[in-house]
Structure 1
Amino acid sequence: MATYDLEEQEQLAEIKVWWKQHGSLLINVITAASLTVIAWQGWSWYQRNQSVQASMVYNVLQKAVQDKDSQRIKAASGELLEKFGSTTYASLGALTAAKTMIDSTDAKTAKVQLLWVVEHGKDEFRDLARLRLAAVLLDEKAYDLALKQLDGSASPGFEARFADTRGDVLSAQGKKAEALGAYQTALTKLDEADKSGKGKNSALGRQGQAAAVYRELLQQKLDSLGGSKQ
């Protein structure tokens, strides 16, 4: 068995002392780091798996929409919201189902779908759901509830639409002056979005002629109330 010289013995002694003082801490740090990596990898796998499964259910929903099968639409949408609510497909599914329900005059179900996106969706999905829900409530003459959906800020690409819809609700309430102000705001926001380039990919989907058509529609609303663009 090899023997250690004095310097080596001193180094070993120092290592033993250091390990006695810090060994447990080092093991805990390494263990915690390993667990963090494992947890992150597990979470990433879970999210990918959720997204894949959600996409399959969403495909079923789309097929049901094509077939105009309301029961399968409700079932697929319900599964997306219940099992895959953290994925983008849940909001997409709810919006898709709501549109179909509105077209089939099932406003009650449509409102449930839209309200879920309002409460759980993110950014543009949430804003689009607020707009569509406000439109449904306007048709039902639930004006105060419609305006409530339009309260607060909206993403830049939705600002004109929010002001426009607010004008529709106010006009239906007979509040002419307030409606005029809302339509004028919509025109202003539309111009600002177009100048800044934010309107190119906005909720309106405006490009070229479509932008002019929408602007003309807003102007007609103003004219019908005796107003004009400021």
Structure 2
Amino acid sequence: MASHYDLEEQEQIAQLKAFWARWGNAITWLLIAVLAAYAAYNGWQYWQNRQAVQAAALFDELEQAARADDVERVRRVWTDLQAQAARTTQAQHGALLAARVFADAEQSADARAALQFVIDRARDDALAAVARLRLAGIELDAGQPEAALKLLEAEVPAALRPWRADRRGDVLQRLGRIDEAREAYREAWRGMDSDVAYRGIVEAKLNALGVDPGAEPEAKP
């Protein structure tokens, strides 16, 4: 009886050896790949979480510097935010904030660079559109209306179309294209809700061009 079981065990061992000889190498590499993927996933999660924490801390510091109108501190923190967490949402919002501080300080080159950062990297269409609108304003103030108009050619989310139209009106008026400017301002005025305070500014721009939008018939859909 013992020899019978020994024979069965020997057959099983022989089968196992044959199976391992055929598939052992593939199984080993599969296990290595699975473990490597698991380790990479954990590493990626750790890196993502670490970046998020760093970005949040830096953005908070950037906000403090902006409230204090500390331009050099804003520049330093913004540089750190780009270096350490450039792919985060906080970096996009930080760029817009830094650009405003730089523009207020009449440091247009730094403002341009920060806004271009958003345009090039933003995953959110609305953020990229806001950056283009602000950059167009900087170009217009710098006496570059053609460059500003080009920036305004890009499509924007529906909620921002009245604001783009208003900025286009400013640019077109600077270029002496008054009829087109009127139409742009009309589009902006009609697109803004009546409770939006800025609508009154757009109306004033139209009045200065001889248009009373409230007296005009509503555009047919």
* SS of aligned partner of 1:209: coil
**1:181-206 deviation digits (Å, cap 9, x = unpaired):** 32344355547xxxxxxxxxxxxxxx
1:218 corresponds to:
202
1:209 to 192, 195, 207: 195
Unaligned runs of 5+ in 1: 192-207
Range moving further from structure 2, 174-183 or 77-86: 174-183
Amino acid at match of 2:26: L
Given that 2:54 and 2:84 are in contact with CA atoms closer than 8 Å, whether structure 1 keeps it comes out as no
Q: Which amino acid aligns with 1:69?
A: D
Q: What residue number does 2:120 align with?
A: 119
Cα deviation for residue 219 of structure 1 reads 4.0
C-alpha displacement of 1:131 = 1.0
Instruction: Kindly provide the CA deviation profile for residues 132-161 of structure 1, in whole angstroms up to 9, marking residues without a partner as x.
Output: 111111112210111122122112322221
Query: Which residue of structure 1 lines up, in the alignment, with residue 76 of structure 2?
Result: 75
Work out the percentage of aligned pairs sharing the same amino acid.
34
**C-alpha deviation, 1:20, in angstroms:** 2.1
Q: Which residue of 1 aligns with 2:48?
A: 47
The question of 1:164 aligning with 2:166 is answered yes
Q: Which runs of 5+ in 2 are unaligned?
A: none
Spell out the pairing of 1:1-230 with structure 2 (5 A cutoff).
4=5, 10-123=11-124, 124-187=126-189, 189-190=191-192, 209-210=195-196, 213-227=197-211, 228=213, 230=219
TM-score by length of 1: 0.79
Structure 2: distance between partners of 1:216 and 1:41: 54
- Alpha-carbon distance between aligned partners in 2 of 1:24 and 1:190, rounded to the nearest angstrom: 68
Larger Rg: 2
The whole-number CA distance in structure 1 between the counterparts of 2:34 and 2:183 is 58
SS at match of 2:202: helix
Deviates more, 1:35-44 or 1:79-88: 79-88
Q: Aligned equivalents of 1:134 and 1:161: distance in 2?
A: 12
SS at match of 2:76: helix
Shift of 1:105: 2.4
Distance in 1 separating the partners of 2:38 and 2:170: 53
Q: 1:10 to 1:137 in 2, by over 3 A?
A: same
CA-to-aligned-CA distance 1:51-102 (integer Å, 9 cap, x gap) = 2122222222222223222211111111111222112222222211211122
